């Protein structure tokens, strides 16, 4: 087995972020996270309290969102979302940057918004910034990553999964632009073990997926082959 796939479970944010997820689905998500000892579950803000309760006593964290999935909320709304999610038990926040500002070249505004959200949550809560790389040019991806660094976040994240699938090229671009100052989370259409391997080799340190169980079963088959 490829060395990079060791402890793959601890790379995963096990996600349930679609609009039709219900409470039973969140409870199942947390049960699966306990079973496989995933690093985190990723849920929308309304489900944070339930996920936190379900995962107490485990090593699995709760990730919540701000400005998800479009990024077009006002900054004060994103800030309130992030702060309230942390109050409900979230250990990390995945915020969506203002994609319109990125496309307009308004990177000072992008940086300022990230900085305001970073200041609204405790220092030990990681902030990951989603830039929707599939909608951006190469230079926009690079400039966005610099804004994430300058705004004080810990991760740049490729996408929400709602605007296109992640590519190895995107991860490589963000990893190079990050220059070791922040980490890269890959997300969007990750469905196979082979994809995980390629994305990790390209520089991702975390993976977001709703196909996590399928991938873990594939990994188990590889281990027993």
Prior bond to 69 cis, omega within 30?
yes
Q: What is the pLDDT of residues 54-105, one digit of tens each?
A: 999 999 999 999 999 999 999 999 999 999 999 999 999 999 999 999 999 9
Per the prediction, the chain carries an average pLDDT of 97
Query: Which residues are annotated as catalytic?
Result: 94, 157, 185
pLDDT of residue 1: 56
Q: Domain 3-224: which CATH class? A: alpha beta
> What pLDDT was estimated at residue 3?
85
CA atoms within 13 A of residue 5's CA, in its CB half-sphere? 16
| Residues 132-154: tens digit of each pLDDT | 999 999 999 999 999 999 999 99
**Lookup result for tokens 């999964």:** 161
18-54 confidence digits (pLDDT tens): 999 999 999 999 999 999 999 999 999 999 999 999 9
Whether this prediction's pTM lies above 0.95 is answered by yes
pLDDT at 123: 96
| Distance of alpha carbon 26 from the chain centroid | 17
- Percentage of the chain exceeding pLDDT 70: 100
Angle between helices 138-151 and 168-178 (to 10 degrees): 40
pLDDT at residue 2 in the model? 76
């Amino acid at each position: 087995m490829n060395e990079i796939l060791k402890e793959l479970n601890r790379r995963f944010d096990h996600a349930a972020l679609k609009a039709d997820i219900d409470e039973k689905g969140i409870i199942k998500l947390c049960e699966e996270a306990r079973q496989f000892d995933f690093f985190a579950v990723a849920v929308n803000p309304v489900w944070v309290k339930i996920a936190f309760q379900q995962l107490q006593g485990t090593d699995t964290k709760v990730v919540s969102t701000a400005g998800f999935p479009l990024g077009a909320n006002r900054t004060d709304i994103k800030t309130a979302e992030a702060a309230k999610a942390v109050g409900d038990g979230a250990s990390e926040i995945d915020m969506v940057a203002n994609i319109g500002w990125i496309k307009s070249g308004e990177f000072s505004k992008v940086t300022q918004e990230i900085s305001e959200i970073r200041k609204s949550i405790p220092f030990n809560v990681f902030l990951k910034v989603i830039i929707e790389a599939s909608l951006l040019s190469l230079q926009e991806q690079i400039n966005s990553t610099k804004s994430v660094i300058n705004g004080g976040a810990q991760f740049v994240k490729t996408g929400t999964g709602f605007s296109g699938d992640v590519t190895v090229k995107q991860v490589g671009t963000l990893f190079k632009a990050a220059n070791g100052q922040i980490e890269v989370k890959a997300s969007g259409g990750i469905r196979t073990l082979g994809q995980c391997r390629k994305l990790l080799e390209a520089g991702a340190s975390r993976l977001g997926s709703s196909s996590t169980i399928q991938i873990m079963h594939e990994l188990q088959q590889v281990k027993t082959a």
